[in-house]
């Protein structure tokens, strides 16, 4: 079990990319299911926060280290081992059902996994795990609730999930204009260290829509220039945002507005 030290080290630093790089050094396609199996088995002996970290790791390694088929096979093996696992961890069946349901919610495992007829042939502990996972998934807003199945959230949720949530709340804000609701959604994410992604995605959304915005607001590029300049001075936006500023249009507008009363500072990057 070469993967065990990597997983235990991951529980210390929480960096899924570092864990993936370490695992790729020795994991082969034929044995990738063992990585998922080991992640869950080790987490069973740890705290709920580690179980959350394990779920995050499985989500981030999906498509990189193992496939949905590998994950399904790992859970099948774990269910076969439940009679032994419950000796050391009495609630192993409940914990395993949480992992299964969470993997379905994270799109790492197809929903049909919990409905497979062959599960009837499994031991009683395994059937309990499958039945409970099915119940969790069938609850009202079950997929949303499963995001917090381990009672922890915020900073150790999958990065891909966080970025997606930020994109969705920005789209909703641009449609509704409800600032209070947008701020509430940001606070609910519980990731203050990730707020830079909100600013970054917000700028990119505006830059992508500038060709349409300028049709209704002719001075949009000038206003954007001013806004970016102020934000750069106060927040340091970063090179990626600055590189995507539409320089050609700004130069065009500079010439067009030469005789106007508008005064502005043309930034140079």
Same domain, 89 and 195: no
- Contacts of 259 by beta carbon, 8 Å cutoff, 6+ apart: none
Same domain, 121 and 33: yes
CATH number at residue 46: 1.25.40.180
Same domain, 165 and 214: yes
Domain co-membership, 167 together with 54: no
Are residues 34 and 74 located together in one domain of the fold?
Answer: yes
For residues 67 and 69, what is the distance between their CA atoms, to the nearest angstrom?
A: 5
Residue for token digits 């020795």? 26
Same domain, 106 and 202: no
Are 106 and 234 within one domain? no
Residue 144 sits in the same domain as residue 171:
no
State the residue range of the domain holding 60.
3-152
| Rounded Cα distance, 246 and 251, in Å | 9
Q: What pLDDT tens digit does each residue of the chain (269 aa) get?
A: 789 999 999 998 888 999 999 999 999 988 899 999 999 999 999 988 899 999 999 999 999 999 999 999 999 999 999 999 999 999 999 999 999 999 998 889 998 999 875 655 789 999 999 999 999 988 765 566 687 788 765 555 666 667 777 777 877 788 888 888 888 878 777 677 667 667 777 777 788 888 888 888 888 888 888 888 888 777 677 676 777 776 544 444 444 444 444 444 443 33
pLDDT value of position 93: 96
175 domain residue, yes or no? yes
Domain boundary among 130, 152, 174: 152
Domain assignment of residue 101, yes or no: yes
Q: Which of 135, 152, 169 is the last residue of a domain?
A: 152
What residues does 248 pair with on adjacent strands? none
Q: Please give the pLDDT value at position 185.
A: 79
Same domain, 188 and 239: yes
* Co-location of 48 and 146 in the same domain: yes
The reply to whether 262 falls in a domain is: no
Q: Is residue 204 part of a domain?
A: yes
Q: Can you give the pLDDT at residue 195?
A: 74
Q: DSSP assignment of the chain, as one string?
A: -THHHHHHHHHHH--HHHHHHHHHTT--GGGHHHHHHHHHHHHTTS-HHHHHHHHHHHHHHBTTTB-HHHHHHHHHHHHHHHHHHHHH-TTHHHHHHHHHHHHHHTTSS-GGGGG-GGGGGS-HHHHHHHHHHHHHHHSTTHHHHGGGTTS--GGGS-HHHHHHHHHHHHHHHHHH--HHHHHHHHHHHT-GGGHHHHHHHHHHHHHHHHHHHHHH-TTHHHHHHHHHHHHHHHH---HHHHHTS-HHHHHHHHHHTTTSS---PPP--
Residue 88 lies inside a defined structural domain of this protein: yes
Instruction: Tell which of 128, 152, 176 closes a domain.
Output: 152
The overall pTM is greater than 0.85: no
In a domain, 261, yes or no: no
Is residue 265 included in any domain, yes or no?
no
Same domain assignment for residues 88 and 175: no
Q: Give the chain's end-to-end CA distance (angstroms, integer).
A: 51
Number of domains in the chain: 2
Question: Are residues 162 and 142 both part of a single domain?
Answer: no
* 140 CB burial (10 A radius; 0-12, 13-18, 19+): exposed
> Which two three-digit tokens encode residue 152?
């922890």
The number of residues in the chain equals 269
The answer to whether residue 249 sits within a structural domain is yes
């Amino acid at each position: 079990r070469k993967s065990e030290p990597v997983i235990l080290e991951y529980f210390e630093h929480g960096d899924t990319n570092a864990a993936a790089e370490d695992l790729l050094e020795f994991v082969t396609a034929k044995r990738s299911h063992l990585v998922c199996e080991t992640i869950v088995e080790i987490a069973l002996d740890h705290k709920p926060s580690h179980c959350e970290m394990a779920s995050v790791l499985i989500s981030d390694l999906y498509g990189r280290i193992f496939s949905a088929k590998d994950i399904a096979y790992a859970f099948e093996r774990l269910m076969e081992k439940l009679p032994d696992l419950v000796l050391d961890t009495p609630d192993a069946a409940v914990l395993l059902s949480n992992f299964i349901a969470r993997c379905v919610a994270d799109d790492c495992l197809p929903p049909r996994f919990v409905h497979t007829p062959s599960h009837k042939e499994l031991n009683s502990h395994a059937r309990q795990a499958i039945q409970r996972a099915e119940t969790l998934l069938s609850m009202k807003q079950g997929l949303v609730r499963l995001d917090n199945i381990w009672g922890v959230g915020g900073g150790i949720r999958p990065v891909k999930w966080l970025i997606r949530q930020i994109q969705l709340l920005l789209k909703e804000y641009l449609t509704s204009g409800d600032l209070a609701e947008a701020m509430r959604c940001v606070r609910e994410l519980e990731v203050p260290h990730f707020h830079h992604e909100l600013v970054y995605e917000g700028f990119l959304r505006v830059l992508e829509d500038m060709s349409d915005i300028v049709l209704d607001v002719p001075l949009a590029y000038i206003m954007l220039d001013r806004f970016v300049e102020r934000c750069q001075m106060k927040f340091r936006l970063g090179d990626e945002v600055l590189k995507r500023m539409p320089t050609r249009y700004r130069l065009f507008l500079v010439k067009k507005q030469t005789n106007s009363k508008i005064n502005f500072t043309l930034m140079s990057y």
